[in-house]
Amino acid sequence: MGKLQVGTFVSVDGVMQAPGGPDEDRDGGFEHGGWSFHYWDDAMGERITESTLRAGALLLGRRTYEIFAAHWPHVGDDDPVAAKLNSVPKYVASRTLDRVTWNNSQLLEGDVVEAVSKLKQEVDGEIQVTGSATLLQTLIGADLVDGFELWVFPLVLGTGKRLFGRRRCARRRSSWPTARCRARAWRSTRTSVPATSSTGRSHSNSDGHLT
């Protein structure tokens, strides 16, 4: 059975929108794209490589898939991250794409919650979700996430899409499932960007209330 692992960059105030570049995601008039750029160092690269190499599959939203598919196939397989991403099975959740062309990619069909629940039963190892802010709201709300690897950057953005946004839980009447997380690891880089890995699932009692 697969474990759904979310890996993402977030600001201190929880914003995850467009860390990689100014035009990555301008939804809502977001003007701070590329905010992670000045914090990158070798330690971050090594940690991200370690994490990526654990992937048994990728689960991506449409926007993240298009960004990745436009870049990674053009990076040589002498790069271990490129070799992994180009070969690993990739599952894409999209309401607008009718086909995907990146090697070993396929579109999820039907209801995304049902499709991902089935995927977790069929895939062994880590199913990694990177970026994919809109998809993540659905996955978190449906209580499908098994763990988070969060890179917390020392800045406050004020606006933008947040990892834990305000959205109703897909399976319950409450706004969000309450999660108790257990930290597995905590590391800081030379640019003061801490990375924390945690596991945690929400729980509900017999009358549907979260405990």
Helix (H) or strand (E) holding 204: none
Q: How far is residue 164's CA from residue 117's CA, in Å, rounded to a whole number?
A: 20
Mean pLDDT over the full length of the chain? 83
Structure tokens at 141: 């709300």
Q: Which residue did the predictor score with more confidence, 194 or 14?
A: 14
Q: What is the pLDDT of residues 54-90, one digit of tens each?
A: 999 999 999 999 999 999 999 999 999 999 999 999 9
pLDDT at residue 197, rounded to an integer: 61
- The reported pLDDT for the residue numbered 185 is 52
The C-alpha torsion from 49 through 51 and 54 to 60, rounded to 10°, is -100
Helix (H) or strand (E) holding 194: strand 194-202
Whether 210 contacts 174, CB under 8 Å: yes
Q: What is the mean pLDDT of residues 125-146?
A: 93
Q: Domain ranges in the chain?
A: 2-202
- The DSSP result for 63-107, as a single string, is HHHHHHHHHGGGS-TTSHHHHHHHHS-EEEE-SS-S---STTEEE
The tokens 């905010």 sit on which residue?
A: 35
Distance (Å, whole) CA 137 – CA 118:
18
2-202 fold: Dihydrofolate Reductase, subunit A (3.40.430)
Express each pLDDT in 106-134 by its tens digit: 999 999 999 999 999 999 999 999 988 88
